[in-house]
Structure 1
Amino acid sequence: MDDQPRPLPPLPPSRLSQLPPPPSSNTYIIQIPRDQIYRIPPPENEIILRNLDIERASKKKKQLDPRCFYWLSSIAIVLILLWIFFAVFRAYFQPKTPEFSVIGLVLRKGSSSNKHANPSYDITLKAQNPNKNMDIFYKKGGNVSLLFKRDRIGGGEYPSISQESKESTTIHVTLAGLATQLPKEIETRLNAKKASDGPISLSLVVSEPVEFKGLITFKEHLTVTCDFRVNKFALSTKPKIISQECRTNF
C-alpha cells in the first residue's frame, strides 16, 4: 500500500475566479466568520455613552464657579459686618427718648383786674435722660398744653434746658389760662366752695425740639403725652396726682 499523499485534483475554472489574489510577500490574510466580528464599543452602547457625556456636561455647568463662590462669600461677610456695626451703633449711639412724669399741679387765680379770667396752672415735671453717652438739649420753640378731654384749658412755653447723660431734672412750667369758655365740668369745679367732686382726668402734651449730643449729634422733635388723674380740682389748692401714664416718642 502506497502511503504517499495523493495530489489534489485541480479546481475548476469557475472556482479559480472566486479565490482572492495571492498575497504579496510578508502579508497574511485571516478570514473570520461575520457573526464573530465585534465592535468596540458595541452599537447599543453608543447611545448610553452619548447620554452620559451630555449629563456630565450639564452637571459641570451647574457646578459653582470658584470665583462666584468667592464673591458670594465676600458679600456675606460684608453683610455680617454691617449688621454688627449697626447693632453696636444702635446700642451705643442711637438716642433713647427721655422719661417724663408729672409730679405737681397747682391752680392759680386769674388776673386781678378781670374776675372772670381763667385760672393759670403751675405744673412740675420730672425728666430723666436714660442715655449713657449722650446729653440732651431742649431747644427754644417748644410748647406745653393742658387738656381736659379734648379741650385745651392752658398753654405755655417749654423752657430751654440741658441734661447730661443719666441726669434727672425737675422742670417748672406755668401755663396761662386760655381766653376761651371753659368746659362746664371744669367751671363747676372751679366755682364750688369745696373740692369734693372726686377725681378728674387731665392730659399734658409737650412738643419740643431736642438735640442729642455724643460722638454723633441727632436733632429730633420730641412729643410727650401724660394722661393723669388728680384727687381734686379747685383754686389755690395743690391736687394730689393719684395715677398717670406718660408716652414719649419722636
Structure 2
Amino acid sequence: MADRVHPLQPPEPTAATTVTQNPPESPVSSSDAFIPKPGPPPGTYVIQVPKDVILRTPPPANASRAKAYARRAARRRGCCCLVLAGLGALIFLLAVAAGVIFLVFRPRAPRYSIDALSVASFNLSDATVSPVFEATVRADNPNKKVGIYYRDGSDVKVSYDGVTLSEGAWPTFYHPPRNVTVFVSELKGAGILLSSDNRRALVKANSEGKVPLGMSIKVPIKVKFGAVRSWTIKVKVNCDVTVDKLTEKAKIVSKDCRVKVKVLGFFGL
C-alpha cells in the first residue's frame, strides 16, 4: 500500500514574527510649525465679541428719540440750576435785610419776672385739689425802636415736681418800646390727683415756709421794626418761684426766670 502524503501547513505567525507597518508620515518642517500669526497693525486694537451677542445699528427713529431725551434732560438741568440760583439769591437778600435790621434796631429779648403769686382753694387734706393761682407778671421791653405784639394761643402753667396744678393764658396786647407792663394772669386747676409722696412733700414744704413751684410760659409774638413786622415768633419763659405758703397771702421767697426766643419765619410787611 502506498503511503499518503499530507500537504504541509504553513506555520502560524508568532508575536516575535508579527510586523506592523505604519504608513509613512509626510515630513513637517520645523520652521513651518513655529510661524507666528499676523497681529493687528500698530495703533489698532481687537475687540472679541461672543457669538451670541448681536450688534446692530439703531434705526434712525430711535436715534432721533435719544436726541430728544437728551435735549429734555438738558432743559431740566437748566431749570433746576435757575431755581437753585433764585433760591440762593433770595436767601442772600433776606440775610442781608436781617443783618441791616439788626444793625439799625439792635433788637434785644424782653425780660420777665413774677412779682406776686397768690394761691386759693388749695386744700391738701382733700383727695383731689383744684388750686387757683393769680400770678402778677412784670414784662419789660428794653428796646428803643422795637415793639412787641403778644398774640392769641399762649399757654401758661404752674406745676410742682413735674405735676401740672393750674393752667391759664397770657393776655394779648401791644408792648411799646422802652415800656414796662404789669398784668395779672389767672390760672385754674380742677380735680388734680396728687400722689402720696407729693402730698407729704407739699405738706412738709408748706410747714417749713418754702414751697418750690415752677411756672412755664409759651406765647406767640410779632416784632415791629418801624413799619416792618416779623412773622410769628415763639417766646418761652421758665420761672422757678418759691413761696412761703399756699394761701392767698403767699409771699415770694425766691424767683428766677429764663427767656428763650425761637424764630419761626423771616421778616415780612
TM-score bin (small chain): 0.5 to 0.7
Amino acid at match of 2:188: A
Residue 169 of structure 1 pairs with residue 181 of structure 2: yes
Deviations 1:14-63, CA, capped at 9 Å, x for gaps: xxxxxxxxxxxxxxxxxxxxxxxxxxxxxxxxxxxxxxxxxxxxxxxxxx
Distance 1:144 1:171 in 2: 14
SS at match of 1:196: helix
The answer on whether the counterparts of 1:157 and 1:173 sit within 8 Å (CA) in structure 2 is: yes
Match of 2:8 in 1: none
Q: How far apart are 1:99 and its partner, in Å?
A: 0.9
Amino acid at match of 1:102: I
Amino acid at match of 2:242: V
Distance 1:151 1:109 in 2: 17
Amino acid at match of 1:223: V
Deviations 1:149-184, CA, capped at 9 Å, x for gaps: 322111011111111101111021010014331354
Residue 90 of structure 1 pairs with residue 64 of structure 2: no
Could you list the runs of 5+ residues in structure 2 that have no partner in the other structure? 1-93, 263-269
Distance 1:237 1:184 in 2: 26
Match of 2:216 in 1: 205
1:154 to 136, 142, 166: 166
2:250 to 229, 238, 242: 238
The answer on whether the counterparts of 1:101 and 1:246 sit within 8 Å (CA) in structure 2 is: no
TM-score by length of 2: 0.53
Q: How far apart are 1:110 and its partner, in Å?
A: 6.3
Deviations 1:102-125, CA, capped at 9 Å, x for gaps: 1111001169xx995411111011
Deviations 1:126-156, CA, capped at 9 Å, x for gaps: 1111221121111111110112232211101
Distance 1:196 1:249 in 2: 37
SS at match of 2:102: helix
The answer on whether the counterparts of 1:95 and 1:134 sit within 8 Å (CA) in structure 2 is: yes
Could you list the runs of 5+ residues in structure 1 that have no partner in the other structure? 1-81
Amino acid at match of 1:196: S
Deviations 1:86-110, CA, capped at 9 Å, x for gaps: 6442133464321111111100116
Amino acid at match of 1:92: V
Distance 2:102 2:145 in 1: 12
TM-score by length of 1: 0.56
Q: How far apart are 1:188 and its partner, in Å?
A: 4.2
Residue 196 of structure 1 pairs with residue 207 of structure 2: yes
SS at match of 2:258: strand
Alignment of 1:64-213 (within 5 A): 87-93=99-105, 95-109=107-121, 117-184=129-196, 187-188=199-200, 195-213=206-224
Amino acid at match of 1:204: M
